[in-house]
Amino acid sequence: MSEAPLILLAAGGTGGHLFPAEALGAALMDRGLRAQLVTDERALRYSGLFSKETLHVVPSATVRGRSPLSMAKTGLTLAAGTVVALNLIRRLRPAAVIGFGGYPTLPPLFAARMFGVPTAIHEANAVMGRANRLLSTRVNAIATSLPGVLDRDPALAAKTTVTGTPLRPAILAAAVVPFAAPEPNAPLRLLVVGGSQGARVMSDIVPGAIEKLEPALWPRLILTQQVRDEDMPRVRAVYDRLKINAELAPFFGDLPARLASNHLVISRSGATTVAELGAIGRPSILVPLPGALDQDQFANAGVLAAAGGAIRIPQPEFTPDRLAADISALAAEPARLNAMAAAARGIGKLDAAERLADLVKRVAGI
């Protein structure tokens, strides 16, 4: 009996790239296919779906500067990675190679094209990333998490399918929990996060905003906040002085469950965050990371805000006064919180992994 077709997944070594790749891998395996992962050495820190035998590390580099030396070094590393990827694809003979963004996807996708292996990419952001832009004209199909990403390019739009972002099992489990806005004078649960490393701006702004709320609202708050170790003493001091019921930690391993258990989320607007807020259906105040070349987080937050599921605040406007005003307004309008939750949920796609698996099978011709 011949082996089942193999789908090779290529992803940068961060959670934002790896988690959707793992979710697709699980969906493909459920359909009787094989899935393996090619990535960079950062992924060795993660433990998940792929075993040592099904995880392949290929040399890669990210463009970090415009100097001739930096560009040359990056180019040489990617060229070396392509040689390794060519040997890998020659040996594995995949039915298709699927990229999830990040420069580590370039060598395996380039190698696949050289061998005539069908390819596709998945773009999680509302603005296509640089690596995916390089690949977009060369691949057979494009999947996007959000609508409208390639509407201005008819040639690319013609081969684009909106699938959503494949989600971790913990997110799918959390999505089952219905949203119910707090009754007047009942506890208001507020979750503040800032990405995998936290965000200093949250420690700078949120405590001051809480202090500017009407004192009558303080006893209602149940606050959970991601805080870097170095910021912990000053943040805790404010909440202790105000007698706020606050849980502070540098990292929350059960974040999906915490998203589901809160009434309002204050966060950055990375692609994974926006996808998870949509899947679970929770109101949010989103503060896009400033200074990004592609302004992807600003665009991501704009999708949720345009749907009515979030309030987008550019970081220069993210002040204690502005945040306090928004929290106060939402606390006074439970119906608005319910409407925002429903609007966010309307953006989410719980069956994204299945949609993407369907597309992969079409691309691979299996």
pLDDT of 228 > 90? The answer is yes
3-state secondary structure of 330: helix
Cα gap 247→299, rounded to integer Å: 31
Place of tokens 């500017």: 212
Burial of 88 (0-12, 13-18, 19+ CB in 10 A): buried
- For residue 44, what pLDDT is reported? 67
pLDDT of 94 > 60? The answer is yes
Instruction: Give the β-pairing of 221-226 and 160-162.
Output: unpaired
Cα gap 50→56, rounded to integer Å: 10
pLDDT of 229 > 80? The answer is yes
On whether residue 153 sits in a domain, the answer given is yes
Instruction: Note whether 226 and 328 are same-domain residues.
Output: yes
On whether residue 111 sits in a domain, the answer given is yes
AA identity, residue 265: V
Instruction: Note whether 54 and 154 are same-domain residues.
Output: yes
- For residue 46, what pLDDT is reported? 67
State CA 266 to chain mean position distance. Answer: 15
On whether residue 1 sits in a domain, the answer given is no
State CA 126 to chain mean position distance. Answer: 11
- For residue 291, what pLDDT is reported? 77
Give the domain range for residue 182: 172-347
Instruction: Note whether 86 and 206 are same-domain residues.
Output: no
pLDDT of 217 > 90? The answer is yes
Instruction: Note whether 211 and 291 are same-domain residues.
Output: yes
Cα angle value 189/191/196 (rounded, 5°): 165
Selected residue with higher pLDDT from 345 and 75:
345
Selected residue with higher pLDDT from 76 and 327:
327
Place of tokens 């149940």: 222
AA identity, residue 149: V
Cα gap 185→220, rounded to integer Å: 7
CATH of the domain at 234: 3.40.50.2000
List pLDDT tens digits, range 4-54: 999 999 998 777 888 899 999 999 999 999 999 998 877 666 667 888 889
List pLDDT tens digits, range 347-359: 999 999 999 999 9
pLDDT of 190 > 90? The answer is yes
List pLDDT tens digits, range 267-277: 999 999 999 99
Instruction: Note whether 185 and 332 are same-domain residues.
Output: yes
Query: How many structural domains does the chain have?
Result: 2
pTM of the model: 0.89
Token pair of 27, please?
């969906």
Query: Contact at 8 Å (CB) between 12 and 130?
Result: no
pLDDT of 164 > 90? The answer is yes
